[in-house]
Amino acid sequence: MVKVDGSGGKSLIQVRDLDKTYRRAGEEIHVLQGLNLDVESGEFVAFMGPSGSGKTTLLNLLGGLDVPTRGSITVAGDEVTNMSASSLTRWRARHVGFIFQMYNLIPVLNAFQNVELPLLLTKLSKAERRAHVETALSVVGLADRMNHFPRQLSGGQEQRVTIARAIVSDPTFLLCDEPTGDLDRKSAGEIMALIEELVEHHNKTVLMVTHDPLIAARAHTTLHLDKGVLVEGKMSQAAPAGSFA
C-alpha cells in the first residue's frame, strides 16, 4: 500500500512533513514542502515530475545521501533523519541499493569486483563474499561475464551488473534514478523486466524516479511530484505483455 497523505500505519518506509530548501545564488528554493509518503514492503513505486521538481532530491533523502531541512524519514523502524553522518553511512550500506542512470560501475574493476564492493564493508570472508556475488550475478543473468570489465560490456549489461551490485547485500529497498535513461529501447525493456522480477519473485521494495511514462507504467504505483508534495497519479495498468519485446 502506498500513501501520500501521512495516514499510513506501520509501513516499511514512512516519510512525514518532509521539507527541503536549497540556497542557490542567494535565493531560497523550496523543493519539497511538507511531503508525506508511506511505502510498504514489496511495493514498486515510480516517481515522476517535471525537471527540477525534486524527484532526485527526494530519492537522495530517502537513501540517506542528503539531510532534509525539516521532517522525518523512518525506514524499518530506524529514524534516518536523526542519524549522525557515520551512522547514516553504515545504515546506507546495510539498507539501500542504488542504481543510477550512469557511471555506476568502477571502470578499473571487473564485474565480479564491482558487485563485490558493498560486501567489502561487511565482515564476510572471501569465500562467503564470492558466494553472494555469484548468486547476484546469476540472478541478473551475467554469471558468465564475471571477469569482464565495464568497457567490455554493453550498456544494458552494465546496468545489470549494477543491479547485481545493488542486491548483493540484500538491502531493505532499492533506489533507482532513471535506470534506463541511458539505454536503447530493447535494453531498457530487459532492465525493467529484471526489476519486475526482483519485485515479484524476490520480494524487493523498489522506488524509482523516471521521466518516461512508459517506464513508469511498469511500476505498481506512480506518484507525481508537484509543488513540493507527492500526488497520486492514475493507477498504472500493468503493461500489456509483449509491448517491450
Partner 1 sequence: MKFARIIFANLLRKKVRLLLTLGSFAVALFLFAFLAVVRDAFGRGADVAGADRLVVINRTSIINTIPLSYRDKILRIPGVKCITHNNWFGGIYQDEKNFFPQFVIDAENQRQVFPELVVPDDQWAAFLKDREGAIVGARTAERFHWKIGDRIPIKTTLYGGGSWEFNIVGIYHGAQPKDDETQFWFQWDYFEERIPQAIKGQVGWYVLRLNSPDDAVAVSKAIDDEFANSTSETKTQTESAFAANWVKQFGNIKFLILSIGTVVFFTLLLVTGNTMAISVRERTSELAVFKAIGFSDRAVLFFVLAESLIIALIGGLAGLFFAVLAVPALGRALNGLLPSLVLSKPILGLGLVLAIVVGLISGMLPGIMAMRMRVVSALRRV
Identify any residues that bridge with 13 across adjacent strands, giving them in sequence order.
Answer: 39, 75
* Comparison of 61 and 139: residue with beta carbon closer to partner 1: 61
Member of 63, 68, 71, 179 binding partner 1 (CB under 8 A): 63
Q: By the 8 A CB rule, do 172 and 12 touch? A: yes
Q: Identify whether the C-beta of residue 173 lies closer than 8 Å to the C-beta of residue 206.
A: yes
Answer yes or no whether residue 29 interacts with partner 1 by CB under 8 A. no
Q: Which stretch binds partner 1 (CB under 8 A): 9-17, 43-51, 107-115, 202-210?
A: 107-115
Contact pick of 104, 180, 205, 222 for partner 1 (by CB under 8 A): 104
Least Cβ distance, residue 242 to partner 1 (angstroms): 33
Does 76 interact with partner 1 (rule: CB under 8 A)? no
Q: Which grid cell is 110?
A: 571487473
The C-alpha cell 514492503 sits at: 41
Question: Residue 66 or residue 144: which is nearer to partner 1 going by CB?
Answer: 66
Of 4 and 133, the one with the shorter C-beta distance to partner 1 is 133
Candidates 65, 143, 146, 214; binder of partner 1 (CB under 8 A) is 65
Task: Point out which span in 7-15, 23-31, 117-125, 213-221 binds partner 1 (CB under 8 A).
Answer: 117-125
Tell whether residue 60 is a contact of partner 1 (CB under 8 A). yes
Give the residues lining the site for partner 1 (CB under 8 A): 56, 60, 63, 65-66, 85-86, 89-90, 92-94, 96, 98, 100-104, 106-109, 113, 117-118, 120-121, 126, 165
